[in-house]
Chains A and B, each alone.
Chain A
Amino acid sequence: MSDIRLEKVTKNFGATEVIKGIDLAIDPGEFVVLVGPSGCGKSTLLNLIAGLETITGGDIYIGGKRVNDTPPRDRDIAMVFQSYALYPTKTVRNNITFGMVSRNIPKADQDAAVQEISTLLQIERLLSRKPGQLSGGQRQRVAMGRALVRKPDVFLFDEPLSNLDAKLRIEMRTEIKKLHQRLGKTIVYVTHDQIEAMTLASRIAVMDNGHIRQFADPATIYEDPVDLFVAGFMGSPPMNMIPGKIGAQDGQYVVSTSNPDEAPLDFPLPPALYERASAMDGRDVILGLRPEAIFAAGTELPGANRFIFERPVSVVEPTGPDTMILFHHAGLDVVARVRPEDSRPEGTLFSFEADMEKAKLFDAKTTLRI
């Protein structure tokens, strides 16, 4: 087991700076998930850890050893590439064994390892085929197999499940989690799938444009985002971000939000936020309310700091277990998550209830959490 430490790592491609100074300390045996918008540098960061790209500045340590100048094959890592990168002229079996052949592992051990991994990934029947004769999802599983068959210190996964169907993806997700629990290897895993990130990670690193915005466990990322970017990135549908102004009313602090055509709404803040709100009195803020914090009035157990208001339903989006109801407010479509039986057709005046305990406040100017 090895830890991975990045210190002030930067990477330029010609004149463009892609990784802009990343500090990251990954503990031994940790499962770190990298998330971030397309093109923010996730694959580049993995390549830097793997040694497939030379870092421009900073240091990388694996297992306490500085590896800036260590070639990939001496870093004891295995990687699943976003593009699969299977060897086209080799059969699936030989794709999987190539790493062991290169490292002169005995044939009997190779066969046993192939047997185990192909059963795990359900590719036993494909072993004698060439990659060109496989579907996208099958190729992806072979790429996984090639990485998993060796038992290196560190696994790097670049969107390894993106091409699988929903059922297989959930199965594989569970398998990866079990595998991690069994082997306890350090894993860095890139994904665009929120559920994958939340379920697999011991910690999530949210990246944006070459920076890491927040690095914390999934619950903290979800409940305690440091800024608007992280708050908006995690969660599906994303958090509602309602622009407003902080003001004091009858000894309470509220976020007054206005609407050109409709009555303004004053969202009362919970007392826990008073202290921070008082420092922002009169300033522009963003009120963050996740869809599950807005529901049909009276359908949840009563609690403190609930705010009930009425708005006409503008769009209804059933998802199965829940129904999303959208309404216009403050110039945007606000999403509320209600039980399917509480759903009402478009145009109906609907009574919503917001759990203000769950509300988050962000500075409209700096986008930081208040």
Chain B
Amino acid sequence: MSRKNLSGIVQQKGTQHVVMRTLLFLTLGVFCLYYLIPLIVMIATSLKSLEEIRAGSLLSLPQKVTFDAWTKAWSSACVGVRCDGLQPFFWNSVAMVVPAVTISTILGALNGYALTKWRFPGADIIFALILFGAFIPFQVILLPMARTLGVLGLAGTIPGLILVHVIYGLAFTTLFFRNFFIGVSSGIIQAAQIDGAGFFGIFFRIVLPMSLPAIVVTVIWQFTQIWNDFLFGIAFTVGDSNPVTVALNNVVNTSTGVKEYNVDMAAAIIAALPTLAVYVIAGAYFVRGLSAGAVKG
């Protein structure tokens, strides 16, 4: 139903209705502003020169827009002793997040599909155990994970970090997909079985195309989690293999006498941009995904 256009629904009219609407939008506007102010301040600061920052107030808009801070943050700011900017670490993050999100999403979909549509003895217990994984705090697995990566020879590398994120993310992706597939009529799977398709045939040709909303929700969730992760990044990578979040911290903490707020702000926005982009691109699906169980036939 979520795909149906709702604009045809008859709505209330009259003065009372108009007053309530105005009030509603005013309230929404106030909250909107409240949430947007930090972002506005960040963007404004990143476009100012250092002198202007020192002279003006925090909230004022830039008098003379300059992208020097952005260029510096991207390609020449010092991260620890290395002064190449965020750029190499940004690509580290990309190289980590793409496989980590892809693998954990596909495995989660496969898990959810097997747990709901190909019921096997003990499926509920296995699901409960997987679910339990979603509640384990990050800190608890640091030491065992470090040991595991050491044994596998992946310590301090990007593939090692990918493995960590895939394993940790599996609990969430499985949960998302299981809850989506439980709302999908089993009759569709049965029809496909009668039509001669097997486990993977049904998965790739029937189930996966149906679960686009769930995929989008999972990808957004996983991307945000993995891209923004700091703890695993700092614990399981070293120096050159750091993800962008760790590098950002290092940019801000590398003291060269003067605090360059504009560079810090630009670096922070650069580090946050990909998640923002994912929300904007896939956001429309995010809302749909939440009510996706209602879509049938």
Residues of chain B lying within 8 A (CB to CB) of residue A81 = 187, 190-191
Answer yes or no: B122 CB below 8 A from chain A CBs: no
Q: Are B193 and A146 in contact (CB under 8 A)?
A: no
Answer yes or no: A83 CB below 8 A from chain B CBs: yes
Q: A50-B194, A73-B198, A81-B190 are in contact. Are A89 and B209 (CB under 8 A)?
A: yes
How many Å lie between the Cα of A189 and that of B29 in the bound state? 60
Within 8 A of A (CB), among B189-248: 190-198, 201, 205-206, 209-210, 212
How many Å lie between the Cα of A99 and that of B193 in the bound state? 9
* Contact pattern, B 279-297, Cβ under 8 Å of A = 1, otherwise 0: 0000000000000000111
Q: A83-B185, A102-B201 are in contact. Are A88 and B297 (CB under 8 A)?
A: yes
Answer yes or no: A229 CB below 8 A from chain B CBs: no
Q: A73-B198, A99-B196, A102-B196 are in contact. Are A86 and B190 (CB under 8 A)?
A: no
B contacts with A, residue count (CB < 8 A): 22
Q: Are A102 and B297 in contact (CB under 8 A)?
A: no
How many Å lie between the Cα of A72 and that of B195 in the bound state? 9
* Closest chain A CB from B98 CB (angstroms): 25
Within 8 A of B (CB), among A39-55: 47, 50, 52
Within 8 A of A (CB), among B1-26: 3
* Contact pattern, A 226-262, Cβ under 8 Å of B = 1, otherwise 0: 0000000000000000000000000000000000000
Residue of B nearest to A131 (CB): B297
Residues of chain B lying within 8 A (CB to CB) of residue A31 = none
Q: Are A139 and B297 in contact (CB under 8 A)?
A: yes
Residues of chain A lying within 8 A (CB to CB) of residue B185 = 83, 85
How many Å lie between the Cα of A99 and that of B198 in the bound state? 11
Within 8 A of B (CB), among A60-107: 71-73, 77-79, 81, 83-90, 98-99, 102-103
Residue of B nearest to A75 (CB): B194
Answer yes or no: B188 CB below 8 A from chain A CBs: yes
How many Å lie between the Cα of A139 and that of B191 in the bound state? 14
Q: Are A102 and B195 in contact (CB under 8 A)?
A: yes
Please classify how large the interface on chain A is, using the bins under 10, 10 to 19, 20 to 34, 35 or more: 20 to 34
Residue of B nearest to A47 (CB): B190
How many Å lie between the Cα of A86 and that of B191 in the bound state? 8
Q: Are B191 and A85 in contact (CB under 8 A)?
A: yes
Answer yes or no: A132 CB below 8 A from chain B CBs: yes
How many Å lie between the Cα of A85 and that of B296 in the bound state? 9
Residues of chain B lying within 8 A (CB to CB) of residue A131 = 297
* Selected contact of A99 from candidates B195, B209, B212, CB within 8 Å: B195
Residue of A nearest to B197 (CB): A102
Q: Are A72 and B3 in contact (CB under 8 A)?
A: no
How many Å lie between the Cα of A86 and that of B297 in the bound state? 6
A sample of 10 more A-B contacts (CB under 8 A), given A77-B194, A84-B297, A87-B206, is: A83-B187, A85-B188, A86-B191, A87-B192, A89-B206, A98-B206, A102-B195, A132-B295, A132-B297, A139-B297
In the A-B complex, list the 9 residue pairs whose CB atoms are closest, starting with the nearest.
A85-B187, A99-B195, A102-B196, A89-B209, A85-B191, A73-B196, A72-B193, A102-B197, A83-B187
> Could you list 6 examples of A-B contacts with CB < 8 Å?
A72-B193, A79-B194, A81-B191, A85-B191, A102-B196, A132-B3
